[in-house]
């Protein structure tokens, strides 16, 4: 299963097949995994306390003006 | 509230998911990511008169959040990222969830590299910032960002390739 993580060093040399040059491949699979990690959080609904805070922004000054 | 303030608020709401995600990439903890995002929103609102409309608000917000994160680190000094829980929970994963386990391995490895390398990888590899923008956000030279990206890549690759670490 090692090669499933990507054709970077972890997968290099294990199947001996025609893998692209070492310097290019890690970037692509790393980007993919990094994006997965990032999107994991970014796609979550914004938590209620943060939403409340955002909604309340400016309300105080609005009332004062 | 003025029209400009309304626009600023709308932009804040729109950018809050990516702000949280960037916070998580630094802190590796959802609660802290939420705290960081909230703190950044409050600070951004307090300083919004100093923001120039039309400039990169996302970069501006990321800079605010990043500054909060490192200020906190400097205050506490004893921040320990607990990847043990991830490793421990992984042991009980059924074999059918190998893809999930590999992703957890990746996240654990990402948590083990330095925050500076991690943020450089996220800013360049995911957030779509240029090296120049990332350097502005991090308050360092472009060459430093490039170096952190390269070292981060190498460190991640080494951790994922090391069977001893995987079994830890």
Q: With a cut of 70, say whether residue A1 has pLDDT above it.
A: no
- B128, burial (CB in 10 Å: exposed 0-12, middle 13-18, buried 19+): exposed
- Which residues on A lie below 8 Å from B12 (Cβ)? 54, 57
Summarised one tens digit per residue, pLDDT across range A33-57 is: 899 989 988 999 999 999 999 988 8
Tokens, residue B150: 């390269």
Average model confidence (pLDDT) across chain B? 83
Give percent of chain A with pLDDT exceeding 70. 49
Q: If you average pLDDT over each of A11-20, B33-42, B65-74, which comes out highest?
A: B33-42
Q: How many CB atoms neighbour CB B151 within 10 A?
A: 16
Summarised one tens digit per residue, pLDDT across range B35-61 is: 999 999 999 999 988 999 889 999 999
Q: Is B21 in Cβ contact with A54 (below 8 Å)?
A: no
Nearest chain A CA: its distance from B99 CA (Å) = 8
Q: Is B125 in Cβ contact with A37 (below 8 Å)?
A: no
- What residue has token string 């590899």? B125
**Closest-approach residue (CA) in chain B for A8:** B157
Can you spell out the DSSP letters for B66-106?
HHHHHHHHHHH-------HHHHHHHHTS-GGGHHHHHHHHH
Q: With a cut of 80, say whether residue B77 has pLDDT above it.
A: no
Residue whose C-alpha is closest to residue B2's, from A55, A61, A50: A61
- What is the average pLDDT across B124-139? 93
Q: Which uninterrupted H or E stretch holds B127?
A: none
Structure confidence at residue B96 as a pLDDT band (50, 70, 90)? very low
- What residue has token string 């993919």? A32
Q: With a cut of 80, say whether residue B21 has pLDDT above it.
A: yes
């Amino acid at each position: 299963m090692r090669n499933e993580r990507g054709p970077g060093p972890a997968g290099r040399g294990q199947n001996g097949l025609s893998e692209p040059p070492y310097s290019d491949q890690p970037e692509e699979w790393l980007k993919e995994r990094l994006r997965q990690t990032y999107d994991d959080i970014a796609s979550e609904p914004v938590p209620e306390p943060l939403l409340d805070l955002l909604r309340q922004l400016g309300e105080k000054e609005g009332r004062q003006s | 509230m003025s029209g400009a303030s309304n626009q600023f608020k709308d932009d804040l709401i729109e950018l809050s998911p990516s702000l949280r995600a960037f916070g998580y990439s630094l802190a590796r903890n959802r609660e802290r990511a939420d705290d960081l995002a909230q703190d950044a929103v409050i600070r951004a609102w307090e300083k919004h008169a100093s923001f120039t409309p039309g400039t990169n608000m996302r970069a501006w917000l990321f800079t605010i959040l990043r500054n909060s994160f490192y200020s906190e680190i400097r205050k506490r000094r004893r921040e320990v990222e607990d990847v043990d829980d991830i490793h421990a929970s992984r042991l009980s994963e059924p074999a059918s969830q190998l893809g999930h386990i590999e992703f957890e391995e990746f996240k654990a490895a990402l948590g083990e590299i330095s925050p500076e390398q991690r943020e450089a990888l996220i800013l360049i590899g995911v957030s779509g910032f240029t090296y120049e923008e990332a350097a502005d956000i991090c308050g360092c030279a472009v060459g430093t960002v490039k170096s952190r990206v390269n070292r981060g890549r190498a460190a991640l690759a080494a951790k994922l390739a090391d069977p001893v670490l995987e079994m830890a």
